[in-house]
Amino acid sequence: MKLNKLITPKGFMFLIIFAVLVFIGDRINFSRLVGAESQFFTLFQFFGPVAGAFLGPVVGVLSVLIAEIASKLYTHASWDPVTVLRLTPMLFAAWYFGTKKDKISYLVPILAIIAFIAHPVGRQVWYFSLFWTIPIIVKMLPKKYGERAFLRSLGATFTAHAVGGAMWNYIVPMTPAMWIALIPIVIFERIIFASGITISFTALNTLLDRLDAKTKSEYLNIDKKYAWFKHIS
């Protein structure tokens, strides 16, 4: 996907919508991150990866990064190591959501598992990293299953979790008991996040599909089967 195609009516419209969503979503906390008092999951988790689907993986990742940095700059967020590293997981999630079967989608969770188990604490709770086989399994499914919105969303949110979890193990003091206590929380949160990503993906497909008649553009990848009210002319 060429970057110069970003300057199109629909491409620009998507970036505006996405930037506004990031700005709002980043302000609304959903749950606290264990081990860090001032770090939260926000509503951004519910739609961040979808940029990869509409803009393609490369430009999608770039748009997520730009939106994240702009949001942090606007709110004068502190640029401590944890905040900076937390920009990374959603980039990989956007890449995952925007691609089919590619090496990066497989390699990222595999490296996260290896990094987690290589840590002394992670080695004691190695089974926690089995969560990160989910993105790999989704990509290995037959096309008619693996490309379904919810499964793509599930793979994307667990890709973000893999990257974030592997880094978290090295930068935040955690005990094996804390990781074990997180297991039911992870299951609940990631199902909620995957559901949110699916809904936001469908909603944006619907909105952009309705705008299609007025702003003809070959830039955005709109999946019409996920557009609501597609029977309305």
- Rg (alpha carbons) of the chain, rounded to whole number: 18
Residue 144 lies in a domain: yes
Question: Residues 120-146: pLDDT tens digits?
Answer: 999 999 999 999 999 999 999 988 787
What is the count of structural domains for the chain? 1
Residue 201 lies in a domain: yes
Helix, strand, coil tally for the chain in percent (to 5): 75, 5, 25
Averaged pLDDT, 182-209: 88
Confidence of residue 216 (pLDDT cuts 50, 70, 90): low
DSSP at 30: E
Q: Give residue 166's pLDDT.
A: 94
Greatest Cα-to-Cα distance within the chain, rounded to the nearest angstrom: 60
Residue 95 lies in a domain: yes
- Residues 54, 227 contacting (CB under 8 angstroms): no
Confidence of residue 40 (pLDDT cuts 50, 70, 90): low
Residue 230 lies in a domain: no
Residue 71 lies in a domain: yes
Question: Residues 64-80: pLDDT tens digits?
Answer: 888 788 777 776 767 76
The residue type found at 111 is L
d(CA 168, CA 122): 11
Residue 73 lies in a domain: yes
Residue 178 pLDDT exceeds 50: yes
Average pLDDT score, the chain? 81
The domain that holds 40 is classified in CATH as: 1.10.1760
Range with the poorest average pLDDT among 22-26, 43-47, 137-141, 214-218? 214-218
Backbone angles phi, psi at 125, to 5 degrees: -125, 45
Q: Name the residue range of residue 16's domain.
A: 8-221
Residue 80 lies in a domain: yes
Residue 37 pLDDT exceeds 70: no
